[in-house]
Structure 1
Amino acid sequence: MEFRLNRRQLVGGLAAAAALAPLASRAAEVLRFSAIPDEDATKLMGRFTKVAEYLSDKLGVPVEFVPVKSYPAAVVAFRNDQIQLAWFGGLSGVQARLALPGSVAIAQGEEDARFVSYFIANKATGLTEGPDFPMAAKGRSFTFGAKTSTSGRLMPEYEIRRNTGVAPEEFFSRVGFSGDHTKTVELVQSGAYEIGAVNFTAYDDMVAKGQVDPAEVPVIWRTPAYPDYNFTLRGDADEKFGAGFTERLTTAILGMDDPEILGAFPRSRFIAASNADYQPIEEVARQLDLLD
């Protein structure tokens, strides 16, 4: 049997195919997201794979978690469209949005609106917690977390300078960078460094899981509150994934209520965020010359 298409049928078929082509292309798009490596990479992979599955189910598009090796690598991957969504810290989020204008902070953990860093110490130092900056820490060894960590470096360094009037290298006998919050706690616990600055949620989570004894590694000071972690999305997301995608993604994130998924961050819930929320972080980063 032979089939022939008349001109009208052919034109109509081509028009339909053209209309469907963008949809087919969009359906094949994968939303790739990452997170700053503020803890051990293996732990992050297990934690955020579940988040990817949740988002994929809610959005109806494939979602893939892409691990990165460093905070700067997360920013570069975002700028180069290797990832479209990222769980950034306050500073890395600012860096990413400056590198790619039009990108937006869409959500933060409820805790992130008023985040704090802990200064922790090895019990052998004899330092105990007080309301004021621990001036008795002068001359001790000290470790930050990652060099571009908001809670592990930016805000702790800002507070050290503000309270002592000198750079950390002048106040402490030795200053290092552990690379992530878990390692900071481990280094202080082992005595490799006497004092360290750590993300409060990371420390509290380790205490809750029995990974650190607060009697052996006590908190000696808490910084004033500041804005921190956030989900930042590329500005071209709606173009790539379809009109309204940014809104649908934001709704999905704000709707996370599974304790296991929230525990991946860990956060109690998510609330809406905007670029303006992180202006204080940008201002401090410029003061410390941490932005290009």
Structure 2
Amino acid sequence: MRWLLALLLTLISVNALADTFRFTAIPDENEDRLVARFDRVADYLSQQTGLDVEYVPVKSYPAAVSAFRNDQVQLAWFGGLTGVQARSLVPNSEAIAQGKEDAAFRSYYIANASTGIAADQQELPDAIRGHSFTFGAKTSTSGRLMPEYYLRQRFEQSPQQLFSRVGFSGDHTRTIALVESGAYDIGAVNYKVWQAEVRQHKVDTNKVHVIWKSPRYPDYQWTIRGDVDQHFGEGTRAAVRQALLDMTDPELLKSFPREGFIPVSNDDYEPIKRVGKQLGLLR
């Protein structure tokens, strides 16, 4: 009888866990802002799907991937690279929606005004050589993967060969702050974060400015685990996807910031997978 009681308790525990649908997001900005944003998204998804939805914050990009792999979350707002990583670890997981802007995303390279590097140049300037440089997080698509790819393409050198010092800030807002303060001369950031920070007067553009804008590439997306229908009921994946595509609340969208969400598939991220393998960030 004891084994039966133990089994029943285990099943109750599993079912209780499955009653809550959890999601996370890569921590690409200040944590307090992310919690405020995604708690509202959790409320919206709950209303639209009938699920009990909870946002689970994480401390790093790898932690977001691990939470998805370990089924601690069933849905995640990933960057291009982290999405590819996560889907490779969970069978049948799928990219289900991306921001309208994410089909043609880009990185901005920014410089402290003291460097004397001119703004808005047509190509990455030779003048960046020998300066200090900071990426964002080590597995950020817009803050590391694609910026490093374009640096190598332009100069045929690694960042360590090109710059006097190379760092990783951890997130885009931190990159902007470090370059503005002069702690690093140059950095690479998500263009949407830069635009939002400038629009909200959180950047002193007399101290830091954009020196080059990268070509376009696919980036952020919502990725869902392949077993959600099994755990939460048939049609869960479709319901969550439709709720994201139907998100029209200006305040919710402004917090991303995105104009809206559009359909996407795993195949759309083949360019990210290819570059990730070239740089040794993917197997």
TM-score normalized by structure 2?
A: 0.93
Pick one of 155, 178, 182 that aligns with 1:164. Answer: 155
Q: CA deviation at 1:210?
A: 0.5
> Do the aligned residues in 1 keep the contact of 2:26 with 2:58 (CA within 8 Å)?
yes
Moved more, 111-120 or 213-222: 213-222
> Do the aligned residues in 2 keep the contact of 1:27 with 1:61 (CA within 8 Å)?
no
Q: CA deviation at 1:28?
A: 6.2
Do residues 96 (structure 1) and 72 (structure 2) align? no
> Do the aligned residues in 1 keep the contact of 2:18 with 2:232 (CA within 8 Å)?
no
Do residues 239 (structure 1) and 240 (structure 2) align? no
Q: Paired residue for 1:286?
A: 277
Amino acid at match of 2:279: L
SS in 1 for 2:259: coil
SS in 1 for 2:208: coil
For residues 83 and 205 of structure 1, the distance between their equivalents in structure 2, rounded to whole angstroms, comes to: 28
Pick one of 97, 104, 124 that aligns with 1:133. Answer: 124
> Do the aligned residues in 1 keep the contact of 2:136 with 2:189 (CA within 8 Å)?
yes
Do residues 218 (structure 1) and 179 (structure 2) align? no
Do residues 269 (structure 1) and 267 (structure 2) align? no
The Cα offsets for residues 124-175 of structure 1, whole Å up to 9 and x where unpaired, read as: 1111221111221111110000000000000000000010000001111111
Pick one of 109, 113, 137 that aligns with 1:119. Answer: 109
Q: Paired residue for 2:185?
A: 194
CA 27–84 in structure 1, closer or farther in 2 if over 3 Å, else same: closer
Pick one of 34, 38, 50 that aligns with 2:40. Answer: 50
For residues 109 and 206 of structure 2, the distance between their equivalents in structure 1, rounded to whole angstroms, comes to: 14
Amino acid at match of 1:60: G
SS in 2 for 1:78: helix
Percent identity between the two aligned chains: 57
SS in 2 for 1:218: strand
For residues 43 and 283 of structure 1, the distance between their equivalents in structure 2, rounded to whole angstroms, comes to: 32
Amino acid at match of 1:254: L
Q: Structure 2 regions of 5+ residues with no counterpart?
A: 1-10
Pick one of 61, 64, 72 that aligns with 2:51. Answer: 61
TM-score normalized by structure 1?
A: 0.90
For residues 246 and 214 of structure 1, the distance between their equivalents in structure 2, rounded to whole angstroms, comes to: 43
The Cα offsets for residues 164-199 of structure 1, whole Å up to 9 and x where unpaired, read as: 000001111111000000000000000000100000
For residues 196 and 99 of structure 2, the distance between their equivalents in structure 1, rounded to whole angstroms, comes to: 15
TM alignment of 1:148-159, pairs within 5 A: 148-159=139-150
- RMSD of equivalent CA atoms: 1.5
Q: Detail structure 1 runs of 4+ shifted over 4 Å in the superposition.
A: 25-28
Q: Structure 1 regions of 5+ residues with no counterpart?
A: 1-20
Q: Paired residue for 1:108?
A: 98
Q: CA deviation at 1:216?
A: 2.3
CA 97–124 in structure 1, closer or farther in 2 if over 3 Å, else same: same
Aligned residues: 270
Task: Flag the structure with larger Rg.
Answer: 1
Amino acid at match of 2:84: V
> Do the aligned residues in 2 keep the contact of 1:26 with 1:241 (CA within 8 Å)?
no
